[in-house]
Amino acid sequence: MDLSILFILAILPMLLIFIGLVLFRQSGTLMGIFGWVLTVIIAVFFFQTSASVALAASWEGVLSSFGISLMVLFSILQVTMMDVTGAISSITAYIKTIAAERYEQIMMLNVGFGTFLVSIGATPVTMLPPIMLALGFSPLAAVALPCLGYDPLTSFSLLAVPITLPAAAFGIDVRSLGITVAWFLPVISTGIALAMLWVADGWTGVKKGFFTALVAGLTLGLCAILFVHILPAAAIGLVGVFSGLVTVAVLFLMRKIRGRPLDVAEPAAVQAAKDERKDKMPLWKAALPWVVLVLFCIVISIPVLKSGLPSILGNMQKIPVMADQIVNLNLLSQAYFWVLISTLITAPVLIRSKEQVGKITKLWLKRAWSPTLAAMVFFAIAYVMDWSGKSVSNGALTLAPAASNMNVVIGLVLALIFGVAFPLFSPMLGLFGSFVSGSETSSNVMFYGILKKSTDVLNLDFLQVYAAHLVAGGIASGVAVAKIINAAAVVDKIGIEGEVVRKVAPVAIILTLVTGIMLVLMLYL
């Protein structure tokens, strides 16, 4: 079949999802299911994939999604508990006393604290939307800002799994990859910080908070460069943790330098916020689930424990899928497991009655099913695309003779179309991959082979091209449907996904093109 036709077929499920979200305003979960069905049909009938392989790929996608989908499920439980018991309300009132200006709230919560959260394995798209809504931001901004806040150092998120996993799988030097990724981040993190102001308050917001956003973005990006150089390779997972904390500290210091003490924002607003806090839950108690979670995440990141935890459950957590394909759930090392544990441990401290237990359970199930299912479905789509054209031979899953793979077709056509200009547009594959799966890590693994082949053919520096791919995969968090559904669910705004994508898509595309321009400069100058 003609290569151009295969290319159109390969991208057709994504076009269907995008059109359904943006033009017809359908839910991301529904469009994800339609996209998965179409992907399976195309893989089977046009890419010589057996139905059994397509279904096995879907199952592996579901299992591989647990780092995201179960994180969504359990983090929504945690934030729902905090919402119903009044903990979120107490935290919100405290934030108002230290950052009365909207642009300060955006930078402190979504750039600094958001980076810290996602770096330790927590999810700002679950934790922050209720706070943003309570602070007076619109539903669109309350959903979009934490998703954008997932972006700046996404490659260093989840204790740097997006970097360490493909590095280990493909024999890439993890420090070299981390350093190359970091060089993009001062520009990209600053662009994201400014974009947050635009999403929240338009150009007026950008003008008012420009300097604060500039400081926040540059601090975050420059700290990433600093820490990836000075930390040992085994501790690369802490780059985002330290960078986020330093950014929050710098923003607080800025208030002090400006002559605005940490407990004095606008006197009238602060006094009102303090009055609001009088009858609320103490801050230590309100934040206890997050404090316990952070402590757990720090403990499990200790190298000795990190290497030893997988052996506790051993083969019990290894699930065979097909042929040589096995998914290791690695439960005790997963952030979602510790989210659940931290929730259960702190529940007796926060919950005061059986009525609250019932309300929490009912609201949790209402909020959680859609984003959890969406995360699984989008991973399933990604794995069907990755397994398309493959079959079992000699006990191993390999690309069948004369068969085409959907991801390879997409990469090959883009390389043929753009030629020497391929580096300018290659980061779009990272944007595409993370949009499809909702995960930069998945995108990094899926497109490794495509980029390696393309850079070999075009005689380009693979490490730099691959680093740009990782950066663009992080940028995609702002438009990743699975993350948007997650954020929308915790504020009961399911159905807003298309509106968020329409608002944030220009930002994602522009920053991805900026990444491409930076890559071209790195390669050719």
Last residue of one domain, picked from the residues 269, 294, 314: 269
Give all strands (DSSP E) within 323-415, no chain letters: 325-328, 390-393, 396-399
Query: CA 41 to CA 18: how far, in whole Å?
Result: 18
Whether 367 is in a domain gets the answer no
* Domain extent for 463: 3-65+386-524
Residues 112 and 60 in one domain: no
- Judgement on whether residues 55 and 110 belong to the same structural domain of the protein: no
Closest CA to 100 of 274, 283, 246: 274
Percent of the chain residues past pLDDT 70, beyond the cut: 93
Give just the sign of the alpha carbon dihedral 424, 212, 489, 441: positive
Clarify whether residues 446 and 497 are in a common domain. Answer: yes
**Stretch 321-334: mean pLDDT, rounded?**
87
Average of per-residue pLDDT values in the chain? 86
pTM: 0.78
Q: Is residue 305 part of a domain?
A: no
C-alpha span between 309 and 331 (Å, rounded): 9
Per-residue three-class SS string for 264-289 = CCCHHHHHHHHHHHCCCCCHHHHCHH
Q: Residue 267: pLDDT above 70?
A: no
**Is there a domain that residue 327 lies in?**
no
Same domain, 46 and 120: no
Does the pLDDT of residue 236 top 90, yes or no?
no
pLDDT higher than threshold 90 for residue 278: no
pLDDT digits (tens, 9 = 90+) for 471-507: 999 999 888 887 888 889 888 888 888 899 999 999 9
> Are 127 and 57 in the same domain?
no
87 within a domain of the structure (yes/no): no
Confidence of residue 108 (pLDDT cuts 50, 70, 90): confident
Angle, to 10 degrees, between the axis of helix 462-475 and the axis of helix 174-182?
60
pLDDT grade for 523, boundaries at 50, 70 and 90: very high
Q: Considering the domain boundaries, does residue 285 fall inside one?
A: no
| Position 153 in a domain | yes
Distance (Å, whole) CA 261 – CA 342: 33
Using CA atoms, how far apart are residues 273 and 97, in angstroms rounded to an integer? Answer: 6
What angle, rounded to 10 degrees, do the helices at 185-230 and 497-524 form?
70
With beta carbons less than 8 A apart as the criterion, state whether 469 and 427 touch.
yes
Three-state DSSP at 83 gives: helix
For residue 292, tell me if it sits in a domain: no
| Residue 403 domain-assigned (yes or no) | yes
Higher pLDDT, 283 or 433: 283
Q: Are residues 162 and 30 in the same domain?
A: no
32-64: pLDDT as tens digits: 899 999 999 999 999 999 999 999 999 998 998
* Domain boundary, last residue among 216, 251, 269: 269
**Last residue within a domain, chosen from 235, 254, 269:** 269
Same domain, 444 and 511: yes
What gap in Å lies between CA 82 and CA 288, rounded to an integer? 10
Same domain assignment for residues 105 and 21: no
Q: What is the DSSP letter of 128?
A: S
Q: How far apart are CA 222 and CA 186, in angstroms?
A: 6
pLDDT at 25 over 80: no
- Is the per-residue pLDDT at 293 higher than 90? no
Please identify which residue in the block is written with the tokens 């020497």: 420
Inter-residue contact 373 to 65 (CB < 8 Å): no
SS3 306: helix
Please check whether residues 254 and 162 belong to one and the same domain: yes
Q: From the DSSP assignment, how many helices (H) and strands (E) are in the chain?
A: 29, 4
Q: How many domains does the chain have?
A: 2
Crossing angle for the helix pair 497-524 and 139-149, to the nearest 10 degrees:
30
Q: pLDDT class for 262, splitting at 50, 70, 90?
A: very low
